[in-house]
Amino acid sequence: MEKRFFYAFILTILLFIGYSHLVGRFTPQPASEKQQNDFQGQPRPQALSQQASAVGIEEISEAKKEDLPQVEMDNYVITYSPTGGYIFSVRSNAFEQDLGFENIGVVPSHKGIEFAAEVQNNKLMFVSADGVKKTYTFEGNQLKIEFSSNEKQVVLFSNALSTNMLDQRYQEFFYSTEEGVQRKAFKKIVPKKSLVSRATGSLQGQEAPLVSNEISFENVKFAGSRGRYFCAALIEGDYDIRWVKGEKGKTIALYANNPGAEITLYLGPQKKELLKPLGLQGVIHYGFFHGIGVVMVKILHLLHLAVRNWGLCVILFSSGLYLLLYPLTSKSTKGMMEMREFQEAHNEEIKKLKNKYKDNPQKLHQETLTFYKKHNFNPMKGCSSSCLPMFFQIPIIWAFWNVVPRALEFKGAKFLWIKDLSLPDRLFHLPFSLPFNLGPWINILPILTAILMYMQMKFTSPAVDSEQAQQQKIMATIFPVMMILFLYNLPAALLLYWFTNSLFTFHTQWKAAKKRTT
């Protein structure tokens, strides 16, 4: 392995780890105003007054949850505000978690108005002294909001950027047009100032211009927002909507323009069987490899019918995939072992070539290829064969990466020492926090996975000379440590899949190495 390749490899890993942490921690801003409207559906921005933009973001968030009354209704705990007559937040009893959508049904013109609240079965009704009425009716996962008069604008709900880095990754808003469902990451929506405009303004000694804090869309079929597990969406129809971002950039509200006297929202888990009857199945999306994710979910549910444990389902899925790809894995292992044997058998000759042409890399490359050709050996055989299993694994790992953290089935599911497959495995709690923001838990699965990686590198990385051996020794130490940092706080279900696959791969390599030495 060339020294420059080794350093490039380590630098790539460091950049990858750094990027992963930065993306989760900070809210990036697009480079230009053009990007804020860069949607496939070609939305039509509309000019709106500054007063209309401001109402309903900072001002509606002044209420404190602990000061507001609550009522249990159906499967929910509703926290509501008599001032303004709206629902502050909704908590699911079934999942013991807030849905993450607040300030539902705020009417800006009702600001400061006191309402009398009354609960009747599944209805929460607000009536003001001058006869203004609002009714919230819960029917399963649907919330119907009725007004006593046609309203010009209504805040359907607002979102806050999650403080959890993993949850931030899965927050996005969406809207549907005839072209299909369009999506945008929550933390990238409608920035106030772009980095480029700031820099340009500073260079020219001018104040950078503000970018619009809102964006509008006409004639959408439905629109909403989703987090890791739950979503809020308008029931399919024809709407004019706009998203308005708060001054601090961490709160976003969805407005409906001229919604009339009645509007219906879906509030609940992202489950196809619940969303499809409402025409909202397009809300569910597993990223670039969505099709693979859909098939994956079906297979996992079929496995669960047989074993009734989600941890075992993940292990069986990983095992089945390994068996399916075993011919490629076996070929890959054989190719790497042949490469190792060739290099060890001709170690001295390869070293002589390196020493002879150490000052002429181009000549060294030509002579090395001639040397391989002379011995009728294809140096690309090991590389190409080893890439085949990874070529098929990457889409599946990527799809699994998007399926597992969103799957409510894994939330609270136990397996062996793991108390919740949707969280890190957390074997025991420490009285202090680990460095690099790893937290106060000892997580076993990322450590075991890193150990397997270390052992795999020992089996598959032949050293031709002492310099290369030293480089590989350093890499075999640094790479697993970097992977621990990257994997440490990922959901246990994801690491269980990764560890199972790595264990089978290592076993194949170990058998091949053992066969080679006997």
- Is the pLDDT higher at 242 or at 355? 242
Task: Average the pLDDT over each of 120-124, 263-267, 362-366, 441-445 and give the range with the smallest value.
Answer: 362-366
Residue 377 CA to residue 400 CA, distance in Å, equals 38
Residue 398 has pLDDT above 70, yes or no: yes
Any idea what DSSP says for residue 246? Answer: -
Identify the pLDDT of residue 169: 81
Structure token pair of residue 495: 């690491």
Long-range Cβ contact pairs of 268-275 (< 8 A, separation 24 or more): 268/92, 268/99, 268/140, 268/141, 268/230, 268/231, 269/95, 269/141, 269/229, 269/230, 269/231, 269/408, 270/226, 270/229, 270/230, 270/231, 270/406, 270/408, 271/408, 274/141, 275/231
Identify the band that residue 46 occupies on the pLDDT scale cut at 50, 70 and 90: very low
What are the two backbone dihedrals, phi and then psi, of residue 503, each rounded to the nearest 5 degrees?
Answer: -65, -45
Long-range Cβ contact pairs of 12-19 (< 8 A, separation 24 or more): 13/478, 13/479, 13/482, 14/482, 16/486, 17/482, 17/485, 17/486
Residue 408 has pLDDT above 50, yes or no: yes
Structure token pair of residue 147: 């007004």
Q: What is the mean pLDDT of residues 153-165?
A: 85
Residue 319 CA to residue 410 CA, distance in Å, equals 19
Q: Which residues contact residue 485 at a Cβ distance below 8 angstroms, ignoring those fewer than 6 apart?
A: 17, 436, 438
Residue 72 has pLDDT above 60, yes or no: yes
Indicate the domain borders of the chain: 40-280, 292-513
Q: What is the mean pLDDT of residues 392-397?
A: 80
What is the Rg, in whole angstroms, of the alpha carbon atoms belonging to the chain? 29
Q: Does pTM top 0.95 for this prediction?
A: no
6-40 confidence digits (pLDDT tens): 444 444 445 444 544 443 333 233 333 333 333 33
Residue 20 CA to residue 93 CA, distance in Å, equals 34
Residue from 256, 259, 255, 250 nearest 58 by CA: 250
Contact indicator for 299, 398 with CB cutoff of 8 Å: no
Identify the band that residue 392 occupies on the pLDDT scale cut at 50, 70 and 90: confident
Residue 505 CA to residue 190 CA, distance in Å, equals 45
Residue from 131, 80, 128 nearest 106 by CA: 80
- Is the pLDDT higher at 66 or at 62? 66
Identify the band that residue 468 occupies on the pLDDT scale cut at 50, 70 and 90: low
Task: Average the pLDDT over each of 168-182, 193-207, 484-498 and give the range with the smallest value.
Answer: 193-207
Residue 308 CA to residue 350 CA, distance in Å, equals 56
Contact indicator for 485, 438 with CB cutoff of 8 Å: yes
Structurally, at CATH architecture level, domain 40-280 sits in: Distorted Sandwich (2.70)
Task: Average the pLDDT over each of 136-145, 481-490, 491-500 and give the range with the smallest value.
Answer: 481-490
Residue 481 has pLDDT above 80, yes or no: yes
